[in-house]
Amino acid sequence: MPTSTRTLLTGLAGTVLLATVVAGCSGLPTSQAGGTSSSGPSAPAPAASSAPADAPSPDPTTEPVRLEANVADDASKVAVDTRVEVEAAAGTVEKVKLRYQGVDAKGAATKGTVDGELSEDGTTWTAEDRLEPSATYTLSMTGANAADETTTRTTTFRTQKLTLAEQTFPSLYPLPDSKVGIGMPVVLTFDVPVEDRAAFEKNLHVTSKPAQEGSWSWLSSTQVRFRPEEYWKPGTQVTVRADLNGVDAGDGIYGQQSASTSFTVGRSLVTKVDLAKDVATVYRDGEKVRTIPVSGGKPGWETRSGTKLIMAKEFNKKMTNEMIGAEEDYTLVAKYALRITNSGEFLHSAPWNAGNLGRRNASHGCVGMSTADSQWLYENTLIGDPVVTTGTDRGLEQGNGYADWDISYKTFAKGSAL
């Protein structure tokens, strides 16, 4: 039977529909390179995602900062020479508070805080001072990690107990804000002997403006002194810090506290006493300003030759033979007296010896002069002004007053423990 036009169109439409369905099921385009149509199986459709196409991937969790101290929590009998340190890992130290309360060696209540210094990279905090004995400390540490998330830790500990006999107290001289002579040494004394002198000396600091080289020298286990290589320059400002609180002095002894002082050096004034000629000459800033007839110690009581320093000024000083063990019986009062040795040598007014002034040595070791001359010296000298005595065969003992300049700087520096 002949095929009708309707039948032909219907067949063509079915063919087109079939091709469209096949193409729609394919995971590939309807034609590929070369115009060949795909007839293979379809690829699985990709999984649907609810996130925007440009959303970032989530960051991993930032590690929290870890804070550690060099003293364990609830520790007891912590040595007082400990300097507390806090370290941060995976972050930085933000804030540290170190507080204490307790009792001192006399039983009095004490409390306070300890400041500290943060390292440049912020990972370490170090206390500026050591610890107090018989005290309970509270340490609060706060740090932050890279995400600026903070963490705080608090710890407590207790320090060792010390009696007064187990602590040594420092005393510094000259006193703060003093004006002294060009020869004045720094004198640091202790009430309990220091065994580990090197440990103490490492914590002694002297700064001067203008700067001058100098050295410490131990006179004994209870005294150490500092002097410059040459006399202090006039006008020099000196600051001294003895950071000895809690420092181990050896033999079970610790520094009881720190000390400091500052002083100014005055003009140069040097008195040269020539007992071969019985005359004293005074020089201010190198210029001669006064000549004084004097009388020194007689045979058997010779005045010591050497470089001494004025140690103290005394008014109406009573002098007796018992003070020096002289057999002669006397009681004298010197209106103006300048002490220059521990053993009892003075520059002083001696009107009772007027006939010998400038002529012969007739005293029991002191250098006597007129009341007018002694008053001038009293009013124009400073503690630490040098008195250089010559003309006798009797030498000056180290430790007898401020005899630090009677030896060379090289010899003096050998007394350092460092």
> In terms of residues, how long is the chain?
418
Residues facing 138 on adjacent strands: 99, 156
Give the C-alpha separation, 28 to 30, whole Å: 6
The amino acid occupying position 199 is A
* Contact assessment for residue 230 and residue 143, using Cβ atoms and an 8 Å cutoff: no
Structure-block tokens of residue 294: 């004097």
Helices and strands (H, E) in the chain, number of each type: 5, 29
Residue carrying structure tokens 């187990």: 166
Q: End-to-end distance of the chain based on CA atoms, in angstroms? A: 131
Sheet holding 248-250, edge to edge: 167-168, 253-255, 248-250
Q: Phi and psi of 356, rounded to 5°?
A: -100, -10
Tell me, what DSSP letter sits at residue 375?
Answer: H
Rg (CA), the chain: 44
Catalytic annotation present for 366 = yes
Query: Counting beta carbons within 10 angstroms of the beta carbon of residue 267, is it exposed (0 to 12), middle (13 to 18) or buried (19 or more)?
Result: middle
Tell me, what DSSP letter sits at residue 324?
Answer: H
* Contact assessment for residue 134 and residue 114, using Cβ atoms and an 8 Å cutoff: no
Beta strands in 167-277 (DSSP E): 167-168, 170-173, 178-180, 186-190, 204-209, 214-220, 223-228, 237-242, 248-250, 253-255, 259-265, 269-274
Residues facing 67 on adjacent strands: 88
Determine what percent of the chain falls in helix, strand and coil, rounding each to the nearest 5: 15, 40, 45
Q: Which residue among 25, 205, 364, 366 is the active-site one?
A: 366
| CB-side neighbour CA atoms (13 Å) of 172 | 23
> Would the CA dihedral through 103, 104, 105, 106 be positive or negative?
negative
| Distance, C-alpha 313 to centroid of its chain | 33
Closest-CA residue to 226 (of 16, 29, 418, 8): 418
Give Dmax (Cα) for the chain. Answer: 178
The residues annotated with a catalytic role in the active site are: 348, 366
